[in-house]
Amino acid sequence: MKKTIYTLLLCTSLIFSCVENTNNSSIATEHEKTPERILFIVSNAHFYGDSDRNTSNHFSEIVHAYDVFENAGYDIDFVSPEGGAIPIGYINTSDSIQKRYIYNNDFMDDLESTQKPNVIKAIDYKAVYYGGGGAAMFGVADNKAIQDIAMQIYENQGGIVSSICHGTAGIVNLQFKDGSYLVAGKKVNGFPDAFENMEADYYKTFPFSIQQKIIERGGDFQFSSEGWDDFMITDGRLITGQDPSAAASVAKKVVETLEQL
């Protein structure tokens, strides 16, 4: 009889132990869950083409989107064609968000140590975000490794491609495996010709017009003639904004769309 009771107690103890271990394992998995990631694509260009005129990545377009993604619980990495430090400009420290990030050492360290495309694993990311600024016109659109990363995320993994302002230059050459362009048949936005000074020296260094290249690739380029009015367009998993005023809205739409996928 005592042996039977001992056996029952032992079995009960083992059952509770298994349940406890299972629950603990569940809790551990919950706590150890890796945050989902967004990849920011930026440029190393310090000059407009071969000129000696300085250019940079648009700080506001980076930080206003970054802030939205971070607050939504996403981790963010930066990639540039060459890796390493990138030039930043268009900084306005009277903007509280810009001021907060310009003095954030960890964030600024990330901009000084962007990753090279060859170390990026596309499978780790849910979306890409192409930042703008004059620098975005150089070195990004024709970088095959970055193209491959963006299209693996979009085509293979059902992720999102997003861009802001001159960052839309980075998506004009993106192609599906069948050779068709990502923008073909889609509504697309970016910095329009209407707001470019085509007679200016800076513009003459541009390799192409964003608006005309999108149209040439079969895209339906749409824009706000008012400008700086938070204009953006969503066409499925392609999300594009016109100028710095739309950076946060593009990021919010990316988050909203990811939640629906």
Q: How far apart are CA 188 and CA 163, in angstroms?
A: 10
Question: Where residue 232 falls among pLDDT bands split at 50, 70, 90?
Answer: very high
Residue 16: pLDDT over 60: no
Residue 219: pLDDT over 70: yes
- Is 0.85 surpassed by the pTM of this model? yes
Position with higher pLDDT, 34 vs 12:
34
Q: What's the whole-number mean pLDDT along residues 236-252?
A: 98
Which residue has tokens 């930026």?
42
Q: What's the whole-number mean pLDDT along residues 121-143?
A: 98
Q: What was the pLDDT predicted at 27?
A: 41
pLDDT (tens digit per residue) in 31-66: 455 789 999 999 999 999 999 999 999 999 999 999
β-bridge pairing 220-221 and 187-188: parallel
Residue ranges of the domains in the chain? 1-33, 36-260
Residue 4: pLDDT over 90: no
What rounded mean pLDDT belongs to the chain?
91
In degrees to the nearest 10, what's the CA dihedral of 37, 217, 196, 168?
A: 0
Q: Which of 204, 127, 234, 129 is nearest to 171 (CA)?
A: 129
Position with higher pLDDT, 33 vs 233:
233
Q: Which of 117, 104, 125 is nearest to 62 (CA)?
A: 104
Yes or no: say if 159 and 125 are a contact pair by the CB < 8 Å rule.
yes
What does CATH list as the number for 36-260?
3.40.50.880
Residue 26: pLDDT over 90: no
Write the CB contacts of 152 (distance below 8 Å, at least 6 apart in sequence). Answer: 122, 123
